[in-house]
Each structure stands twice: as structure tokens, then as C-alpha cells.
Amino acid sequence: MNPIYKRLSGLYMFVFFGIPVLIFGCHQDRPLPIDAKATQETRSLHAFLHRLQGEKILFGHQDDLAYGVHWRYQPGKSDVKDVAGDYPAVMGWDIGGIEYRHEVNLDAVPFDLMRRFIISSAREGSINTISWHLGNPATGGSSWDTTVAVTHILPSGSLHGQFVNWLDNVASFLDSLRFEDGTPVPILFRPFHELNGNWFWWCKPFCSKEEYIELWRFTVNYLKDIKGLHHVLYVYNTNNFRDDAEFMERYPGDTYIDVMSFDTYQFLGRENVNSGLLASSQKFKTQLQSNLDVLQYNANRHGKLMALAETGFEAIPDATWWTDVLYDAVKSYNLSYVLVWRNQGLLKNKMHYYAPYPGHISAMDFKNMFKGTKMALQGTLRPLNIYNLSN
Ligand code: BMA
């Protein structure tokens, strides 16, 4: 007796006792998640992000609650909070290693702790996004092992079964992210990221456009329709790019993407730190804004959310980078969030961190970025009930 229906931008099709019936006029102004069965909380988050566009840009930080430049696993601690007085509005995590059922991810974050951080930060109002630096299924090497693999894990490939097992492991972790009452915590999932780079095995030089799109669609369909996960929004992600054609080349389609995004970092190159800083910042801002123009154009055109999914300037060697460079570049765009990468501290003889810690040269400027601006931390979201709006 239950009619099956499908939304076709204002045109509804009902199949009633085997007879298709078309009905006009039930137009939904606000775009819906691609998952027609998205949970109420996920639809609520999605609607909230659409409503917030242009008003606020949520600030995000990778692994924020797990460790900082000078500490590891101290309950309640966060470099962002220690400097700005509040936690990030967006928490980034990476599940690289879950495919092998490892207990810790590729950066040594225990999955049990990650789960707890995701649940507790969502309870406080933050939004969680997950990337996946998965190993190379053809070799057992890392994400950076660019041996050809995509073609082998597609449904016609010899390693498809193994890849499906990996997705099962991803699904069981995602499924375990639940509030105390059992309700799944909505997640922004960003697999196969930086697709137009040349450093991961799923990047452009190592698979065809058709293969990438097939991998994406298979993954989404599998998690959504076979594993029955309905608390996931899907994030399309490139690295920085030259033009519209490059950004959209491997776009899997409007029925497979909820958020469009790209990653871009500022680098100093070989220039002298002092004399080169200004030129480097200028170059970064120009490139970032030209990419944001393309992102915003496409997000509007396709009715999608938009985000700067990863950014930063390693070790932030600029005391006013936050307000003069980052915020100044992004403030006029309809970005849902901007996320800076992780605060590892020392990594292979150099400092690898993207948010300041107390005493850092950019600490004051970082704090100022949130004063009277659109950039928002967790406290902005806490009273808004983003997972429980009446839509
Ligand atoms: C990179 C670096 C690596 C890390 C990887 C996944 O940009 O931070 O050290 O392993 O991201 O988090």
C-alpha cells in the first residue's frame, strides 16, 4: 500500500498499484540530502547549513580534541579553545586504518577515543567531518602509494571483495557513532579527497574519470543502500585547481554529493621568510579567491553546500595571517566551514601544526578573527539545536 515516490525538482512521481502517477506543485525550495532516507537529525543539519549560508562560516580543526602541539590526550583540552576560548564548530577526523581494523588511525588516534570525541562534540553542538586516508588495496601500502588500484576494486575488478570488506569496516565505525539514546550522529564524509592531485592512489593520474566516478557512486550506494547508513552527508573534494573544468571534471553528479569543497594550503617556498611572506600571502589569497569563485558558482548552480575542507599555513609564520589572509579571503563567500589541519607538533624534524597554541605569534590575531565577524566557534552552535530543528 505504501506508494514509492521520487522527487524530481517539484515533480513527484507516485507508483500506486503499479500505475505511475505524476503530481506537480509539491516543490521543495530547500535542497534535501542526497539520501532520501536521511535521518531527521541529518536532514536538520543539512537544512541548518543551507540556512546559515552567508551568515556564518564555521571554524574547523582536524583532531582538535585528541592532541595539540604540546600535549596528547588530555580530557577537555584543545589548542583552539586554549587560544580563542571555545572549541571549533567543526571537528575533523580521519579513519585511515579502519579498513585494516586497526585500533588507531594513521596518526595514532585510537578509534575508540575518536568515537567518544565525535559523540561528545556533537552533543555540544559541533559538526563532525571524516576523511579517509585508506591504504592502497593493491599493495597494502599507504594512501601515498600510487600503484594503480582503483580499476581493481571496482565491481569488475579482482580486489572488489576486499574493498567491500573495507567498506564494511567503515560502515561499522560510522554506525557506532550514536548519541546515548541510540540516535546516529550526523557525519560529513569526505572520501577519496584531493582527487585532482597526484599523491594518492585514487588521484587523477592513476584512474580514469569514469573509474573515479564509479568508485564514488559504488561507495555511496553501498553505505547508503546496502549498509543502510542514513546519517551521512557526502563531501566532494579536490585540491586547488586551475579552472571550472578541472574542478568539475570528476564530479559524480548531483544525486551523489551534498557538499562541494576543495583543499588548499599556503606555502612559503624557498623565499626568505621575511621578504617572501607578503608575496606568498598575496599569491595564496588570489589563488584561493579564484577557486572560491568557481566553488561558489558551482555550489549555487547545483544547489549544494560549499566548504574549504582543508587549509592552513604550516606553523603559521605570520602574526596576522588569520585576519589579514585567511578571513579576509573567505569572508564574502557562502562557505559553510573552513577547516585547518592537525596540530601534530614535531613531525620529521619540523613543526607540523595549523592552529595556534597559547603563546604562538598569531594567537592574538586568531582570537580576533572571531570577534564581531562571521567566523564561528562551537558556542554559536550550542544553543541552536542544529540536529533537532523542526523543518
Ligand atoms: C597529512 C599530514 C600527515 C597525516 C595525514 C593524514 O597532511 O598531516 O602527517 O598523516 O595528513 O592525517
* DSSP states of 76-104: T--HHHHHHSS-BSEEEEE-TTGGGT-SB
Residue 179 is part of which domain span?
A: 32-384
From 104, 133, 143, give the residue whose CB has the most ligand 1 atoms within 8 Å, as the site to mutate.
Answer: 133
Q: Rounded mean pLDDT of 119-128?
A: 98
**Which residue minimizes the CA distance to atom 9 of ligand 1?**
107
Are 251 and 352 part of one and the same domain? yes
CB under 6 Å to ligand 1: residues? 94, 106-107, 133, 341-342, 347, 352
Are 22 and 94 part of one and the same domain? no
**Distances, alpha carbon 203 to alpha carbons 146, 154, 220, 277, 288, in Å:** 8, 15, 18, 30, 21
From 105, 107, 193, 352, give the residue whose CB has the most ligand 1 atoms within 8 Å, as the site to mutate.
Answer: 107
Are 211 and 342 part of one and the same domain? yes
Residue 113, domain CATH: 3.20.20.80
pLDDT of 141-182, one tens digit each? 999 999 999 999 999 999 999 999 999 999 999 999 999 999
Asked, for residue 171, whether it belongs to a domain, the answer is yes
Q: What is the pLDDT of residue 10?
A: 46
Are 102 and 7 part of one and the same domain? no
Residues 120, 136: Cα–Cα separation, whole Å: 32
- Between the CA of 299 and the centroid of ligand 1 the distance, in Å, is 27
Q: What is the pLDDT of residue 31?
A: 87
Q: Rounded mean pLDDT of 313-326?
A: 97
Q: What is the pLDDT of residue 391?
A: 45
**Which residue minimizes the CA distance to atom 8 of ligand 1?**
342
| Total number of domains in the chain | 2
| 304 three-class SS | coil
Q: What is the pLDDT of residue 106?
A: 98
Query: Beta strands 11-16 and 19-24: pairing type?
Result: antiparallel
Are 73 and 25 part of one and the same domain? no
Q: Rounded mean pLDDT of 26-40?
A: 83
Are 16 and 155 part of one and the same domain? no
Q: Rounded mean pLDDT of 312-320?
A: 97
**Which residue minimizes the CA distance to atom 4 of ligand 1?**
107
Are 280 and 371 part of one and the same domain? yes
pLDDT of 202-214, one tens digit each? 999 999 999 999 9
- Between the CA of 246 and the centroid of ligand 1 the distance, in Å, is 24
Asked, for residue 253, whether it belongs to a domain, the answer is yes
Q: Is the pLDDT of residue 6 over 50?
A: no
Query: Beta strands 127-131 and 187-190: pairing type?
Result: parallel
Are 245 and 328 part of one and the same domain? yes
pLDDT of 54-97, one tens digit each? 999 999 999 999 999 999 999 999 999 999 999 999 999 999 99
Q: Is the pLDDT of residue 7 over 80?
A: no
Give CA angle at 154 (142, 221), nearest 5°.
Answer: 100
pLDDT of 228-249, one tens digit each? 999 999 999 999 999 999 999 9
pLDDT averaged over every residue in the chain: 93
Asked, for residue 135, whether it belongs to a domain, the answer is yes
Are 170 and 263 part of one and the same domain? yes
Count Cβ atoms below 10 Å from residue 368 Cβ, excluding itself. 17
Q: Is the pLDDT of residue 129 over 80?
A: yes
Residues 132, 72: Cα–Cα separation, whole Å: 22
Are 70 and 216 part of one and the same domain? yes
- Between the CA of 318 and the centroid of ligand 1 the distance, in Å, is 22
**pTM of the prediction?**
0.92
Asked, for residue 175, whether it belongs to a domain, the answer is yes
Are 6 and 116 part of one and the same domain? no
Asked, for residue 391, whether it belongs to a domain, the answer is no
From 61, 64, 106, give the residue whose CB has the most ligand 1 atoms within 8 Å, as the site to mutate.
Answer: 106
Alpha helices in the chain (DSSP H): 40-52, 79-84, 111-123, 150-153, 160-175, 209-221, 244-248, 273-302, 328-330, 363-368, 378-381
Q: Is the pLDDT of residue 1 over 70?
A: no
Amino acid at 309: A
**Which residue minimizes the CA distance to atom 10 of ligand 1?**
107
The candidate with the shortest Cα–Cα distance to 71, out of 381, 382, 358, is 358
- Between the CA of 261 and the centroid of ligand 1 the distance, in Å, is 18
Question: Which distant-in-sequence residues (6+ apart) come within 8 Å of 193 by Cβ?
Answer: 131, 132, 200, 237, 263, 309, 310
Asked, for residue 389, whether it belongs to a domain, the answer is no
Asked, for residue 390, whether it belongs to a domain, the answer is no
Are 145 and 133 part of one and the same domain? yes
